[in-house]
Amino acid sequence: MKNIKTIPSADGYHMPAEYACHKGCILIWPQRPGSWKKNPEAAEKAFCAVMQAIAESEAVYLACGKAALPRAKAFADEYNRQFQREISEKKHFPVVVFEAETDDAWARDIGPTFVVKDDTVRGISWTFNAWGGEEDGLYAPWQKDDVFAAAFAKREGYVCYDASPFVLEGGSIHSDGEGTVMVTESCLLSRGRNPQLSKAEIEEKLQQFLEAEKVLWLPRGIYNDETNEHVDNVCAFIRPGEVVLAWTDREDDPQYPLSLACLRYLESQTDARGRRIKVHKLPIPDVPVCVTKEDLEGYAFEDGEDTREEGERLAASYVNFYFSNGAVVMPAFGGENIKSDQRAAEIMEKLCPERKVITVDARDILTGGGNIHCITQQIPFGKAEQGE
């Protein structure tokens, strides 16, 4: 299938909500030593737990570089064998492995953003520059990541819109599927993305590519989020007109003023359909999750790669969850935050009674720089177009 330079909204396509029905989910096997450590077994275990939770209700498309391909295939083969009967009865879904070289494993940010029209699905390939390029990018080079979206679309037969040179990551946008898109000013207006464009011009791009009738510009995200504070770590739609917002009641916590600014903004807004935004608070872990000496000893950073420090606070948030067809797959951090984990799961159970809440020990994803939503990218239900 070809890449095209037309405008999705002009062609009648829009970005659906994540809680709409999926065909499947894209993940990438963790390999980069500066994210997943010299021995990536702990990260692999966490990724596999996420994939098993997702595959209960939708297919998993797992990309992997050649060096780790045997490990990825071994996991997939064992999973597919174990659930062979359930997969044949569509009570579970398969894990499909394919070879693809990437610079890291952030499928949300480097995978296609999918848009839909009736029952037809197309992809969008944005320009990816490692969250800031030469200004404040987190690693270099990033060219393998930059071409992944178009390559995946071609592999699966999707027409793909070429949005270059506009820089955007999947984690920086959130849609309600009805014309409202959420972003953060701290990310989309950062100097490393599209400094040549004004806020109004960036909003116009979102309207053109996502059919965003209204853009909600949250002022900030999660404290110390190295993506310039992606929206997917601080706020998410759970249904039209309703969001969960990362929150803390502790006024001495550096997250407090950031979340408070978001709350005040959201409570003053309506969505594209004129509904007042209903905000549900989803507290962050009670105890900050920080880089330990053991963590630090495990990393192997390359030249030009952002490094970490012992005691550095990580951007831990329960909002960084994934809506699968049947579940909310959400992070847990364990240790001193067991009660926080339980509280977050109970809140989501009440807010999403139609879905099973599955918690995954995700600290070893967080130490890589993101969490469950960051390593996943949903493929909406629908068909790829036939033809070229």
The three-state secondary structure class of 178 is coil
DSSP state of 303: T
Alpha helical stretches, state H, the chain: 33-36, 41-54, 69-82, 84-88, 107-110, 133-136, 143-146, 148-156, 185-188, 199-210, 255-267, 293-298, 338-351, 363-366
User: Rounded to an integer, what distance in angstroms lies between the CA atom of residue 327 and that of residue 57?
Assistant: 8
Decide if 281 contacts 247 (C-beta within 8 A).
yes
Is 262 annotated in the active site? no
Phi, psi of 166 (to 5 degrees): -70, 125
The three-state secondary structure class of 328 is strand
Which of 48, 160, 187, 374 is flagged as catalytic?
A: 374
User: Rounded to an integer, what distance in angstroms lies between the CA atom of residue 248 and that of residue 244?
Assistant: 13
Q: Give the pairing of strands 235-239 and 242-247.
A: antiparallel
In 3D space, the residue among 231, 40, 52, 24 whose CA is nearest the CA of residue 111 turns out to be 24
Which positions are catalytic? 374
